[in-house]
Amino acid sequence: MSGKAVLKLEGKEYEFDTLVGSEGEKAIDFTKLRARTGYVGFDPGYGNTGSCRSSITFVDGEKGILRYRGYPIEEIAEHATFLETAYLLIHGDLPTAQQLDAFVSDVSNHTMLHEDIKRFYAGFPKKAHPMAVSSAVAGALSAFYPEHLDPAKDQDLNKAIIRLIAKLPTIISYAYKHSAGQPFMYPRNNLDYASNLLRMMFATPCEEYEVDETVAKALDILLILHADHEQNCSTSTVRLVGSSMSNLFASVSAGISALWGPLHGGANQKVVEMLESIASGEGSAEVFLEKAKSRDDTTRLMGFGHRVYKNYDPRATIIKKACSDVLEKLGIHSKLLEIAVRLEEIALSDEYFVSRRLYPNVDFYSGIIYQAINFPVNLFTALFAMGRLPGWISQWVEMHDDKGFKIGRPRQIYEGATQRPWKPLEERL
């Protein structure tokens, strides 16, 4: 059902269509705003701007609802595997047993990197951040698979999708092995997705790594919870880069870079660093929160707050429980978890956070689990990227499936110098 919006401007009235989504989300269709009125909309950060129509993920920030293709995140986390979730996001529905087997087999059989790609790693410093390496190597896949360079002519886009999903765990684990000065561990086709990553990370030629089922399951759930989240910063980046007809590998490489930022996916690393600073006695939870509330201080309570969720992030609820379960199973007493729970307790009864509707988000507890599994802190955001990959892919494909899509090119309000005459060098004082 669509209605009309009337804009009164400079003594004239302009009618615009409105759109209503399947969950009741409403928009004013401003696609002809500038052509008809000479005005553009002004919305830095796009908090009030719909960039596209999408059928992939629904988020209700007021009610703390997250659904992938209509299925509640709680049910997906309980019943699905990560690859099953990836199939759902990319293909639009849950796979049959046969479709899932074929998808899992395709992924398992494409996990190795081209042997020439391995040489890339020798060129990176040992201290290179895994997100720098992951973004570079993911983008480099476009050099190794030229058949996927032109989205309009890609006869086998599904192969590019399989290659990306299959190879990102290998790319990331190789970044870690290089930084640790250890030999790369080849993927094993007989292992499930999460177990394969764990083994590539923690096994060595001298000693096998016994995958703990609880750990692998917790990791699989974490990947599911990160899989998509409508038009967040990195997904919008993947869409924008893809809108110029840039290939899928290059678009995902840009998405990895956008996710790296501490205000986005980089927050999970910052949360653990924040908790460790409190644990090391640099200041109590109460002192830290006072800094996070102060306008004079750039400190923020990392892992708290969200552009869309003005309620508890449903992913944080699931991760918090998984965190306790994994730590209990591993027999680990986590001081960081204690501090995180304390911080949450204090913040959720503090007027500053309550009035701004700041709640724990997906990053608040995830790093504690990653650390308990022995992932290095600087790898946490790369793990977020691994989870988000099927979301980026599904959104990129959905954009290209819309034959009417346009290259993304926002406008601006220019406030710079008006025209002025050229000033020769000798006159510049």
Sole binder of ligand SDX in the list 363, 370, 375, 387 (CB under 6 A): 363
Of 169 and 303, nearer to ligand SDX (C-beta) is 303
Q: Which of 242, 274, 271 is nearest to 255 (CA)?
A: 242
User: Out of 363, 400, 401, 402, which one is annotated catalytic?
Assistant: 363
Can residue 239 be called a binding residue for ligand SDX (CB under 6 A)? Answer: no
Is residue 363 annotated as part of the catalytic site, yes or no?
yes
> Binding segment for ligand SDX among 8-16, 91-99, 214-222, 263-271 (CB under 6 A)?
263-271
Q: How many residues bind ligand SDX (CB under 6 A)?
A: 21
Contacts of 128 (CB under 8 A, 6+ apart): 175, 178, 179
Q: Are strands 57-60 and 65-68 parallel, antiparallel or unpaired?
A: antiparallel
> Binding segment for ligand SDX among 19-27, 67-75, 204-212, 296-304 (CB under 6 A)?
296-304
Of 162 and 219, nearer to ligand SDX (C-beta) is 219
Can residue 305 be called a binding residue for ligand SDX (CB under 6 A)? Answer: yes
Can residue 390 be called a binding residue for ligand SDX (CB under 6 A)? Answer: no
Of 170 and 395, nearer to ligand SDX (C-beta) is 395
Can residue 329 be called a binding residue for ligand SDX (CB under 6 A)? Answer: no
Considering the complex, what minimum distance in angstroms separates the CB of residue 92 from ligand SDX? 20
Sole binder of ligand SDX in the list 85, 237, 361, 366 (CB under 6 A): 361
Is residue 306 annotated as part of the catalytic site, yes or no?
yes
Site string for ligand SDX, 205-234 (x = CB under 6 A): ------------------------x--x--
> Binding segment for ligand SDX among 129-137, 166-174, 299-307, 320-328 (CB under 6 A)?
299-307
Sole binder of ligand SDX in the list 177, 199, 264, 320 (CB under 6 A): 264
Of 334 and 361, nearer to ligand SDX (C-beta) is 361
User: Out of 306, 325, 400, 401, which one is annotated catalytic?
Assistant: 306
Can residue 362 be called a binding residue for ligand SDX (CB under 6 A)? Answer: yes
Sole binder of ligand SDX in the list 121, 202, 304, 392 (CB under 6 A): 304
Which are the catalytic amino acids?
306, 363
Residues that bind ligand SDX (CB under 6 A): 229, 232, 263-265, 267, 292, 300-308, 356, 358, 361-363
